[in-house]
Structure 1
């Protein structure tokens, strides 16, 4: 026998909204999951800047477009979704908790694990911040470290080392309010880099030690793993859009033209092209500029800056020499020309581009680094124990925004 449920994800970026709907088939005998994408849609982002909601009304309208398109493709209305969060307000600390094992015979129970994790979470934070993830790195039983699952072990003292990720309470409330205005509840708000890691990192990379770098439009999110557990995470206020801005300023062209130039340079089809046609002021004529001038003179310095900032953070965390599996770069910015060369030079680590995996179904358009966070949100949701159904059943349009609310209100008034 198998159970069939729906899991949904909404990735809210500074320049793009992604909505995914997956059908999860769970084998009741083995508890293994088969995840198939049945609905996928993207839309231009509005009301979001540097990963944070700055205009709820605009953001709601943008999210509705993506969610409704995904619903139509899947044939289901969504009730809830896993939602990404990013931005400069994300920060992390490592914390340790200690408790006495409660069982008279000294056997560690699930309740002991809950208590010790709660103890590790009891850190002093400003009133304006709250913890969104408590991620155990490992347990220690009577001084014996490196324990992954201490349940059933015997001892007197139980410790846990955790990685805590926190965020601005106001940013979280605005995000939740925005998604709720769409008509979708939040199953969980998930740090974007952690979600991306679920889609692109292998267990071996996490075990040996690696850093995931998710370069979005307005920000770059980072999470590092050692011995299979996260040890560092954070967000930088620079992303792929900064490269576009640099091109616009350096070439004196509009942002739209600069973005087109960046995409043209980054296309594998144009890797051997020596020069690019650049529109002159006024847009009526063009001039040729060498690829080398654009890449080495404008794009490379910004990429080098991003990776050098990440290098500094890894050095401060004391882990830059403990991640031999190297850097896995994902997000839309991972497609920027020269990104691997800059990463290798500035990080002194072997880099690779991270493409999402672990799902089937309608994946032709989403097996790109640009969709790593959205796919990771689905996989994160599937990995949260009992899979909750995110749908309200077969589709009944309209369902979103003010029109949907009016229709629901009218239904309530009818006898």
Structure 2
């Protein structure tokens, strides 16, 4: 495989570190691109907590395991990769930029687009933070708003509304250092909520107004799309690992056993017409030291549901605080 036809991504989550390698093929007649997954590997995460590196040595070992397994499947050695970034250190804000058109004939060029985006990016942030995304929402040309692509239009004043996503500089440096020690160069940092939204949301959902809630291991990413553009994003400091911990405490079992129980409860058994669903599980089946039968309903209603209610309540309060809860008629998509 040629280098310019291969793309790769590494998702450094709190629960799993996943590496994916894909080959991009171009149809020369239609100029359409297709993507073929040629390598993927996911390993249990170590050294990462709530999206941040807490032990570089352990994190490097985890990334090495994930990358090498994906490389073996693909038959290709990675040199560059996109890195998914998430965690409670992620913040966002909307920003406005304005510039005068530089061309004498008043035709807007790509250079003008870059200048107005740079103007929107020039916001006051603490030295401990850095911008990882500047996402244009809409442009305004001479007072006429709602413009998606102003290149080639005529005007004297260009404005842009953008959505900025920023991250903790130390957290970013630790992630880059971890990946670099594996021998992989960072192509670009991508907010995990944005990546998930691009994977699962339809254009119609984005246009009408939609919220993506991506429940990760240590945190939950929130991405809100209004009129086709990312309008708000945030991170909730609770995730699926909290559910696992609750089960471990409630059942007095190990984290490993609790994770297996959680996954088992999430699966619906296929039963024949004459079979009845069994409402209990034996925790010894999942690696517990002693045999104990527990009602599935009790676990779901008494342990899992309260934690999920907490997550979704925090998401609702977050959206209400941002004053966008009434701008999402397409509802919520959960991953």
Q: Is TM-score (shorter-chain normalized) higher than 0.5?
A: yes
After alignment, is 219-228 or 100-109 more displaced?
100-109
Cα gap change, 1:30/1:317 in structure 2, threshold over 3 Å: closer, same or farther? farther
SS at match of 2:324: coil
Contact preservation (8 Å) 1:213, 1:223: yes
Matching residue of 1:139? 139
Contact preservation (8 Å) 2:257, 2:288: no
After alignment, is 128-137 or 145-154 more displaced?
145-154
Matched, 1:172 2:164: no
Residues paired across the two proteins, number: 327
Note the C-alpha offset of 1:225: 0.4
Segments of 4+ moved more than 3 angstroms: 28-31, 270-273, 282-285
Note the C-alpha offset of 1:183: 0.4
Contact preservation (8 Å) 1:277, 1:289: yes
Equivalent-residue separation in structure 2 for 1:187 and 1:87 (angstroms): 20
Equivalent-residue separation in structure 2 for 1:184 and 1:4 (angstroms): 15
Q: Deviations 1:213-234 (Å, cap 9, x if unpaired)?
A: 1111111111110111000001
Equivalent-residue separation in structure 2 for 1:105 and 1:23 (angstroms): 43
Matched, 1:249 2:254: no
Equivalent-residue separation in structure 2 for 1:105 and 1:182 (angstroms): 51
SS at match of 1:263: helix
Equivalent-residue separation in structure 1 for 2:324 and 2:303 (angstroms): 30
SS at match of 1:315: helix
Matched, 1:20 2:25: no
SS at match of 1:186: strand
Cα gap change, 1:245/1:51 in structure 2, threshold over 3 Å: closer, same or farther? same
Cα RMSD (Å): 1.8
Note the C-alpha offset of 1:285: 3.5
Contact preservation (8 Å) 1:253, 1:279: no
Matching residue of 1:128? 128
Note the C-alpha offset of 1:159: 0.5
Larger RCO: 1 or 2 (CA < 8 Å, sep 6+): 1
Matched, 1:304 2:309: yes
Contact preservation (8 Å) 1:264, 1:270: no
Equivalent-residue separation in structure 2 for 1:26 and 1:58 (angstroms): 39
The residue correspondences of 1:83-98 to structure 2 (distance < 5 A) are 83-98=83-98
Matching residue of 2:209? 209
Note the C-alpha offset of 1:279: 4.5
Equivalent-residue separation in structure 2 for 1:36 and 1:176 (angstroms): 27
SS at match of 1:322: coil
Q: Deviations 1:256-312 (Å, cap 9, x if unpaired)?
A: 2211211111112279431222349x9554222222211111100100100110111
Note the C-alpha offset of 1:24: 0.3
Contact preservation (8 Å) 2:17, 2:63: yes
Equivalent-residue separation in structure 1 for 2:303 and 2:141 (angstroms): 53
Cα gap change, 1:270/1:292 in structure 2, threshold over 3 Å: closer, same or farther? farther
Q: Deviations 1:295-339 (Å, cap 9, x if unpaired)?
A: 111100100100110111111111111111111111xxxxxxxxx
SS at match of 1:114: helix
Matched, 1:287 2:282: no
Give the gaps of 5 or more residues in structure 2: 272-276
Equivalent-residue separation in structure 2 for 1:176 and 1:285 (angstroms): 44
Contact preservation (8 Å) 1:132, 1:189: yes
Cα gap change, 1:50/1:270 in structure 2, threshold over 3 Å: closer, same or farther? farther
SS at match of 2:5: strand
